[in-house]
Amino acid sequence: MEQMEQDRMNAALFYRFGPADVLRVENTARPAIGEKDVLIRVVAAGLNPVDTKIRAGTHISCKDLVLPAVPGKEVSGRVAALGGQVSGLVPGDPVFAFLPSNGGFAGFASADASLVVKKPENVPFETAASVSLAGMTACQAIHEHLELAAGEHVLIQAAAGGVGHLAVQFAKMAGARVSGTASGDNAPFLVKMGADQPIDYKTEKFEEKAAGVDAVLDAMGGEVLYRSISCVKPGGRVVCLPSFTKNDPKAIALARERNVRLIWPMMHPERDQLLLIAKLLEEGKLQVEIHNKFPLEKIVEANQAMESHGTRGKNVIIINESHPLS
Q: Give the domains, in start order, of the chain with CATH numbers.
A: 2-130+288-318 (3.90.180.10), 134-263 (3.40.50.720)
pLDDT band at 325 (very low <50, low <70, confident <90, very high): low
- Each residue of 260-312: pLDDT tens digit? 999 999 999 999 999 999 999 999 999 999 999 999 999 999 999 999 887 89
Phi, psi angle pair for 312, to nearest 5°: -100, 115
Q: Which amino acid is at 227?
A: R
| pLDDT for 4 | 46
> Residue 323: is its pLDDT beyond 80?
no
Alpha carbons 325 and 203: distance in angstroms, whole number: 51
User: Do 41 and 111 form a contact (C-beta atoms < 8 A)?
Assistant: no
Q: Are 293 and 316 in contact (CB under 8 A)?
A: yes
Give the torsion through C-alpha atoms of 111, 114, 115, 116, to 10 deg.
Answer: 70
95-120 as b/e: b if 16+ CB within 10 A = bbbbbeebbbbbbbbbbbbbbbbbbb
Q: What is the pLDDT of residues 14-42, one digit of tens each?
A: 999 999 999 999 999 999 999 999 999 99
Cβ(42)–Cβ(319) below 8 Å? yes
Instruction: Yes or no: say if 260 and 286 are a contact pair by the CB < 8 Å rule.
Output: no
Q: Which residues pair with 211 in a beta bridge?
A: none
Helices (H), 65-205: 125-128, 132-140, 162-173, 187-193
Q: What is the average per-residue pLDDT within 58-80?
A: 93
- Three-class secondary structure of residue 208 per DSSP: helix
Give me the phi and psi of 247, to 5 degrees please.
65, 30
Confidence label for 107 from pLDDT (cuts 50, 70 and 90): very high
- Three-state SS sequence of 25-53: EEEEECCCCCCCEEEEEEEEEEECHHHHH
Please give the angle made by the CA atoms of 317, 63 and 245, to the nearest 5 degrees: 80
The Cα–Cα gap between 166 and 178 comes to: 12
Could you give the CA distance from residue 277 to residue 283 in angstroms, rounded to a whole number? 10
Closest listed residue to residue 296, CA positions, set 92, 26, 101: 26
Please give the share of the chain, as a percent, with pLDDT higher than 90. Answer: 90
What pLDDT was estimated at residue 308? 86
Q: How far apart are CA 242 and CA 207, in angstroms?
A: 20
Residue pair 41/93 in contact (Cβ under 8 Å)? The answer is no
Examine the pLDDT at 5 and tell me if it is beyond 70: no
Is residue 152 within 8 A of residue 214, CB to CB? The reply is yes
Distance CA 17, CA 58 (A): 9
Q: How confident is the prediction for the chain on average, in pLDDT? A: 95
Find all residues with CB under 8 Å of 74, minimum gap 6, and list them.
45, 46, 48, 96, 97, 98, 99, 104, 129, 130, 131, 132, 133, 134
**Three-state DSSP class for residue 228:** helix
Per-residue pLDDT band for 2 (boundaries 50, 70, 90) equals very low
71 pLDDT higher than 60: yes
Could you report the per-residue pLDDT of 36-51, keeping only the tens digit for each? Answer: 999 999 999 999 999 9
Average pLDDT over residues 155-178: 97
Q: What percent of the chain has pLDDT over 70?
A: 98
